[in-house]
Chains A and B, each alone.
Chain A
Amino acid sequence: MLEIDNLTHVYGPGSPNEHHAIDGLKLSVAAGELLCVVGPSGCGKSTLLRSIAGLIKPTGGEIRVDGKLVRQTPDNLAVVFQDYSRSLFPWMSVADNVALPLRRRGMDKRQRREAAQEALESVGLAEAGRKYPFQLSGGMQQRVAIARALAYRPSLMLMDEPFGSVDAQTREDLEDLVLKVRGHHRMTIVLITHDIDESVYVGDRVVVLSKAPAHVVGDLKVDLPAPRDQITTREHPDFVRLRGEVGRLVRGVDAPAATA
């Protein structure tokens, strides 16, 4: 579904502010897989995502989606941006924000409205459709952005720290929502998070990136029993082991084999 080969990106090459964000990153994601990407702050995660979405042209390497080289935005893609509040259109009601991309789906007005309402309900914002983004809290805005991506039913969904601004309870609900939607609609999802527990809980696989310039330092398969459950999954011995492994990879510490 998604193949990234030797991806390299340098911001401002040749300038005094030259910054190597990504260096020789290799990654492939199977169709229907939910891949979590974790890595230290500023390592290049958002850069990776924007490259996959065709929003920036990486300075080196290749990205293929469904075998097709990414030059522009791939078809059937939805992105939940890290800057969720800036990605909502302030002049439109919440419902219109969610419904707008559905124009690309050839739906008529009524279908769009219904699909938008359904998506808003799924993120717990059934009553917010007529409001404007500025009338919502940060966490609610973030859920609108998620609803907009879900309503679109993309085949590839890129999510950049999508649950950063919501409370713990809502966060768990949204994690389960993503798992459920993925199950029903067979999407491929790349989800960036800085929450190690979250990456293990929702991911089929967790990829750990290094400090800048980013490359893959760890790639772990998450073999936890399905369906996942917020309580029992997190108690599972494999969960505990995996979160430890991911944590050590993120911090760049070796396994505690040598400790006495």
Chain B
Amino acid sequence: MNFYSIHAIFRFEMARSVRTLMQSLAAPVLATALYFVVFGSAIGSRMAEIGSIPYGSFIVPGLTLLAVLTQSVSNAAFGIYMPRYSGAIYEILSAPLSPTEIVFGYVGAAVVKSMVLAAAILITARVFVPYEVAHPFWAFFILLLCAVSFSMLGFIVGLCVDGWDKLEVVPSLVITPLTFLGGSFYSLNMLPPTWQTISLFNPVVYLVDAFRWAFFDVTEFNPMVDVAFLLGFLLVCIVIVGQIFRTGYRLQH
């Protein structure tokens, strides 16, 4: 493991987001703030409490996850797609880098960005609605695990797509709908039974549930099963990335 190599990639990626701070941080924070204004303060005050949790607070974990999941995928995908597109990937390929170092550099940077974003959103949310975190360690751990595994997913997307337009397909056509339908804004048992059953096939349901448990100590499943599920997902991503590097697919000619 060479620290200088990882650091070089990491720094390059961070410099890119600092240059585009408006897009990478301000935009998602603003979008989330708008959700809180509309759903939290305006509509939320007319909504019944869910369990004993005010509606505005209830949506905090789900909205945070929505931003973290989509931004993790987007950021990591963009990070590796960019050099593939510009041709700068030649340098990565010609360098004495192990796949692990490349992944640590790109995915590490995407994870840090997502964690910073999550912190910014949680602070913003606190301005609009009251909430406390029941299990701070678990909240951090689950958030980190989500950021890591979805950044890995983004990395895979960035390695496999062959056009700018396809880059946003996964975050906006897959992650966003799954998160909206994954109980970010409602509790599953508010749904008709058929939809409840369908929702069980939505993996994001378990992430939202686990994260909300860390906040409010209420759960519809077992949070430890949720975490195990996340770890399994991460493992699958790691295996896929390993396979991509072993075969040189879409990297080498």
Asked if A and B are interacting partners, one says no
